[in-house]
Amino acid sequence: GQQVQQSPASLVLQEGENAELQCNFSTSLNSMQWFYQRPGGSLVSLFYNPSGTKHSGRLTSTTVIKERRSSLHISSSQTTDSGTYLCAASSGSWQLIFGSGTQLTVMP
Amino acid sequence: ETAVFQTPNYHVTQVGNEVSFNCKQTLGHDTMYWYKQDSKKLLKIMFSYNNKQLIVNETVPRRFSPQSSDKAHLNLRIKSVEPEDSAVYLCASSSRDFNQDTQYFGPGTRLLVL
């Protein structure tokens, strides 16, 4: 089965609303990372967050290893936040396993 | 600011042809990677290259091969393309073992096999 599961698959918000994206991963994985991909664009690293909480502007990432989950919180969403958000985890070896992504659309 | 460069942006070819994609990083990183992103946006690792050590995902067909001239370059060659090779190929780099540091991605090369 899939080792990294993201939810929701898609999310539509009105500008100004908050978003909460979830990532669950299997026991063999750790070292969670979050990426953002604009439509037709390259991946941009948001957070490398193996555990705990990290902040960057309107973004907050929280990883709870013992519960095998990580979340990405976007506060006061803007239309420019629209795109695909991907989480990924590794097994301590060389492979980075990606989730299937959350497609976020922020309406004006 | 882009620091991982890929060429071409887009390539259309026919089944059986050979193609080669270039990747260069200017970050001084030690490790480079190639990923394949399918139509469902699912990313899968293909190769990792660090200090002349190549690690291959065993699911990658043998017609794919990475080529490196130095630690700043990792190209991807596909010997005889097939229709299922149509995808976006993303190059990335990191400064240490990937699980200790984040990866930086290039803009991708979109391949269409007719």
CB pairs under 8 A between A and B: 56
| Residue-wise pLDDT tens digits, A21-42 | 999 998 777 778 899 987 767 7
Q: Across the interface, do A94 and B107 touch by the CB < 8 Å criterion?
A: no
CA A85 to chain centre: 5
DSSP designation for A95: P
Q: Supply the DSSP string of B56-84, one letter for each residue.
A: E-TTS-TTEEEE-SSTTB-EEEESS--GG
CB contact under 8 A, B41 and A90: no
pLDDT at B97 over 90: no
Residues 6+ apart with CB under 8 A from B58: none
Question: For position B1, what pLDDT does the model report?
Answer: 55
Among A39-43, A81-85, B19-23, B77-81, whose mean pLDDT is lowest?
A39-43
Give percent of chain A with pLDDT exceeding 70: 94
Task: Identify all chain A residues contacting B99, using CB atoms and an 8 Å cutoff.
Answer: 30-31, 90, 92-93, 96
Average pLDDT, chain B: 89
* B62 CB burial (10 A radius; 0-12, 13-18, 19+): exposed
Question: Which of B67, B84, B65 has its CA nearest to residue B75?
Answer: B67
pLDDT at A8: 96
**Secondary structure class of A80 (helix, strand, coil):** helix
Check residue B94 and give its pLDDT: 85
Interface of A with B (CB under 8 A): 30-31, 33, 35, 37, 41-45, 47-48, 84, 86, 88, 90, 92-98, 100-101
